[in-house]
Structure 1
Amino acid sequence: MTAIYIDADACPVKDEAAKVAARHQLVVTFVSNGGLRPSRDPMVRHVVVPAGADAADDWIVDHAAENDVAVTADIPLAARLIEKGVHVLGPSGRAFTPNTIGMAVAMRDLKQHLRETGEIKGYNPGFSARDRSAFLSALDQIVRRAMRSSKE
């Protein structure tokens, strides 16, 4: 059965992901270093990993399986999950696929270099109601695709 994994530290769409999971009667697992309020819903799991670089990422990679769905803004994590056949979506609603992940990694590396050299600032744009709506639609579509793929 398809499951949804959320890289929950600083994820702006946790509530939206829980709504989509409930609509499809899927378990959603929020993975973080702490600070999340537990849910009473038995279909919502919270996993708190030890503090440390990539602890949440490693947990998600270890537990996600082919045709699961993951939500993350972390490009290296997205690349690791795609290798396992996981359907990956960013909080903006942008899908990461085997065809797009290479460019996403390259752009991430370029932007990191430009920030380190002072060429650009590290500001992220605000997250709007329109972004939330786009994410909801994209997550619903990717969940449906994952569920169809898992039945084949």
Structure 2
Amino acid sequence: MNIWVDADACPVVIKDIITRAAQRKQLMTTFVANHRISIPPSPYLQFVQVEAGFDVADNLIVVRASEGDLVITQDIPLASEVIAKGCHAINPRGERWTKENIGARLNIRDFMETMRSSGVQTGGPPALNQKDKMHFANALDKILAKA
């Protein structure tokens, strides 16, 4: 199993949890972003910087991820694509996306996008809190334990 991180919007605290887990489990982990991010030196961690543009990082992850890999992303369409390839997918709050629930999540996302396009103020998600961090760490550990 390899870990792929959609790092453009990944909170630093989540990135830190991922790097510790990757080094502990000795799993190759790739952070993909269109801007420079720092990662600690490790044979298990790498950073790939892509050019700026819509879904450039997502597209690279979809192309390179293989069945059984783990993708960490907030992007629901990206999660849907990698799930179709047989990958695991979780978001930085620890929500696991599966074949059974990704369709409903895409529908909600599309509905909210339509609302925003028509001028309705929907607001963003609440700030990441300690409970979210623990939920993510537990979800990550659960997936890695099965690997």
Q: Same fold (TM over 0.5)?
A: yes
SS in 2 for 1:46: strand
Question: How far apart are residue 26 of structure 1 and its match?
Answer: 0.5
Pair 1:91 & 2:120 matched:
no
Question: How far apart are residue 35 of structure 1 and its match?
Answer: 2.3
Q: Any gaps of 5 or more consecutive residues in structure 1?
A: 148-152
Is the contact made by 1:39 and 1:45 (CA closer than 8 Å) also made in structure 2? no
Pair 1:10 & 2:15 matched:
no
Q: Any gaps of 5 or more consecutive residues in structure 2?
A: none
Equivalent residue number for residue 78 of structure 1: 79
Moved segments of 4+, more than 3 Å: none
Pair 1:111 & 2:120 matched:
no
C-alpha root-mean-square deviation of aligned residues, in Å? 1.1
SS in 1 for 2:35: coil
1:1-150 equivalences under 5 Å are 2-12=1-11, 13-145=14-146, 147=147
SS in 1 for 2:120: coil
TM-score, reference length from structure 1: 0.91
Is the contact made by 1:6 and 1:29 (CA closer than 8 Å) also made in structure 2? yes
The residue type equivalent to 1:138 in the other structure is A
In 2, Cα distance between the equivalents of 1:41 and 1:50? 24
In 1, Cα distance between the equivalents of 2:129 and 2:46? 26
Q: Residue by residue, what CA displacement relative to the aligned partner does 1:17-36 show, whole Å, maximum 9, x if unpaired? A: 11111221101110000220
Question: How far apart are residue 39 of structure 1 and its match?
Answer: 2.7
Q: Percent of counterpart pairs with the same letter?
A: 39
The residue type equivalent to 1:6 in the other structure is V
Q: How many residues align?
A: 145
In 1, Cα distance between the equivalents of 2:117 and 2:128? 24
